[in-house]
Structure 1
């Protein structure tokens, strides 16, 4: 600690002894003494060092941008719909949905590969949740697709078995300080 204080004192003394330190407060630099020679040599004039002129930093006051919150609609509403009918690919589908008074009403329909029209009509709200009604109408256009019957296999419910619990203990050892 004493070495640090000594080092700090030496650094301060060196900074104060540097030329030009007193210039900032208006003191003159030390005068130059001419050597004493037999012939006449003029001594240089005393130099006065002026403190450098620094401009004060310019501070600009900039107002922060005012952020306005967008108003919130307590009863939002929307409505959209679209449809596709492509005769080249046979893709036919449409959808529509509206939101009014917190209840969503919508529907979509499509023509299935076997030619049947599938229409789904739905409603959704915070109280009843999402409810959909699916309708399949129309006759098959073109060749019917053969569907193999699916055999119903009933498997017994799995029985839950508890796995054995491994218990690990540390060997008993004496405390090193005890």
Structure 2
């Protein structure tokens, strides 16, 4: 008899632990207020041939920015953009310089690292 009562109590508590309508209305979602920000970075390493960067500004509603990358043919590509929730992403792409192509094709040129990584021992 004690086993039956314990089983009934366990079943009742398990039933009450779950919500009666799992497909009920969703919990409200609170969005944070938009926050203004800006950032920029640039990398220029003539030895390795890398030259790229980006900058971006936002007032919390509209994002404006541009990024630049050096293309394999020698031109520099710049993409200026504006994005918001009403007009979406709008980009303007421009190129600087003239495309150059090699007269002879061969294996790609690679450069060994200047200073190989040598981890230092940690004495903690």
Q: TM-score range by the shorter chain?
A: 0.5 to 0.7
Match of 2:47? Answer: 88
RMSD: 2.6
**Unpaired runs of 5+ in structure 1?**
5-71, 147-178
1:139 aligns with 2:98: yes
Deviations 1:32-86 (A, max 9, x none): xxxxxxxxxxxxxxxxxxxxxxxxxxxxxxxxxxxxxxxx863410000000001
Report how many aligned residue pairs link the two structures: 76
Once the two structures are TM-superposed, the CA of residue 143 in structure 1 deviates from its matched residue by 2.5
TM-score, with normalisation over the residues of structure 1? 0.38
Match of 1:111? Answer: 70
Deviations 1:133-160 (A, max 9, x none): 11112113563799xxxxxxxxxxxxxx
Is the partner of 1:136 in helix, strand or coil? strand
Is the partner of 2:86 in helix, strand or coil? coil
Asked if the contact 1:114–1:144 (Cα under 8 Å) also holds between the matched residues in 2, the reply is: no
Judging by fraction of residues, say which structure has more strand. Answer: 2
Is the partner of 2:98 in helix, strand or coil? coil
Q: How does 1:38-57 map to 2 (within 5 A)?
A: none
Q: For the structure 1 residues 85 and 105, does the alpha-carbon distance in structure 2 shift closer, same or farther, using more than 3 Å as the test?
A: same
Q: Which has the larger radius of gyration?
A: 1
Match of 1:122? Answer: 81
Q: For the structure 1 residues 104 and 141, does the alpha-carbon distance in structure 2 shift closer, same or farther, using more than 3 Å as the test?
A: same
- After superposing on structure 2, the runs of 4+ consecutive aligned residues of structure 1 that deviate more than 3 Å are 72-75
Asked if the contact 1:81–1:94 (Cα under 8 Å) also holds between the matched residues in 2, the reply is: yes
Q: For the structure 1 residues 128 and 90, does the alpha-carbon distance in structure 2 shift closer, same or farther, using more than 3 Å as the test?
A: same
Once the two structures are TM-superposed, the CA of residue 87 in structure 1 deviates from its matched residue by 1.4
Asked if the contact 1:114–1:145 (Cα under 8 Å) also holds between the matched residues in 2, the reply is: no
* Aligned mates of 1:78, 1:97 — CA distance in 2: 8
**Unpaired runs of 5+ in structure 2?**
2-30, 106-124
User: Could you say which structure has the greater relative contact order, defined with CA pairs below 8 angstroms and 6 or more residues apart?
Assistant: 2
